[in-house]
């Protein structure tokens, strides 16, 4: 498995063994840090992938079959796989959708992506270790901001 300079596995195509949806490689360290201790005995020496399908309960699975770990097996809420608040967005700095929504409702905009970017530039993120997907959250944060601003605009328009 290829790894980029921040130790995040390079994205490679490969479907989830459960739902056949999109997945990406994650480091063994990410899986170990996210799993509840009761699951450690079920881990083999396999390479693991993160299932990115929001409808699938599988979070991690061993490449080539073997162990599968679901949302019940991880220590944190996986923002991509939950629909009720709090919806985690940034695992390093603790921002969730409610934080973004609150700023948008009170000011019409949000500074959260800029705050995250500034903290990343200062070397304060630990995405590989803290984000269940094993990658930087900023892309997901920006997508959520666009969606929440659009929702705010739509709800403000008279019907």
d(CA 10, CA 20): 19
Element (H, E) at 135: none
d(CA 74, CA 132): 9
* Confidence bin at 36 (pLDDT 50/70/90): very high
3 forms beta bridges with 9
| 112 vs 153: which has the higher pLDDT | 112
Same fold yes or no, 1-75 and 81-156? no
Burial grade of 69 (CB within 10 A; 0-12, 13-18, 19 or more): buried
Tokens of 159: 């019907």
Q: Which CATH class is domain 1-75?
A: mainly beta
Task: Enumerate residues 6+ apart whose C-beta is below 8 A from 44.
Answer: 62, 66, 67
* Confidence bin at 65 (pLDDT 50/70/90): confident
Tokens of 69: 């770990």
Q: What's the CATH number for 81-156?
A: 1.10.10
**Where along the chain do its domains lie?**
1-75, 81-156
Task: Enumerate residues 6+ apart whose C-beta is below 8 A from 23.
Answer: 14, 15, 16, 49, 50, 51, 52, 53, 61
Tokens of 76: 């944190």
* Confidence bin at 9 (pLDDT 50/70/90): very low
For the stretch 105-140, pLDDT in tens is: 999 999 999 999 999 999 999 998 999 999 999 999
d(CA 146, CA 35): 31
């Amino acid at each position: 498995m290829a790894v980029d300079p921040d130790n995040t596995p390079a994205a490679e195509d490969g479907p989830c063994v459960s739902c056949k949806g999109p997945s990406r490689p994650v480091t063994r360290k990410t899986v170990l840090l996210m799993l509840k201790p009761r699951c450690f005995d079920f881990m083999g020496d396999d390479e693991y992938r993160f299932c990115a399908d929001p409808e699938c309960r599988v979070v991690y699975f061993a490449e080539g079959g073997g162990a599968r770990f679901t949302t019940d097996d991880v220590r944190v809420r996986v923002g991509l796989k939950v629909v009720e608040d709090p919806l985690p967005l940034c695992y390093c700095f603790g921002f969730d959708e409610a934080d973004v929504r609150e700023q948008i409702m009170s000011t019409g905009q949000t500074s959260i992506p800029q705050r995250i970017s500034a903290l990343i530039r200062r070397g304060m993120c630990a995405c590989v270790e803290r984000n269940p997907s094993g990658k930087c959250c900023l892309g997901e944060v920006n997508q959520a901001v666009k969606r929440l601003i659009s929702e705010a605009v739509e709800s403000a328009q008279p019907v």
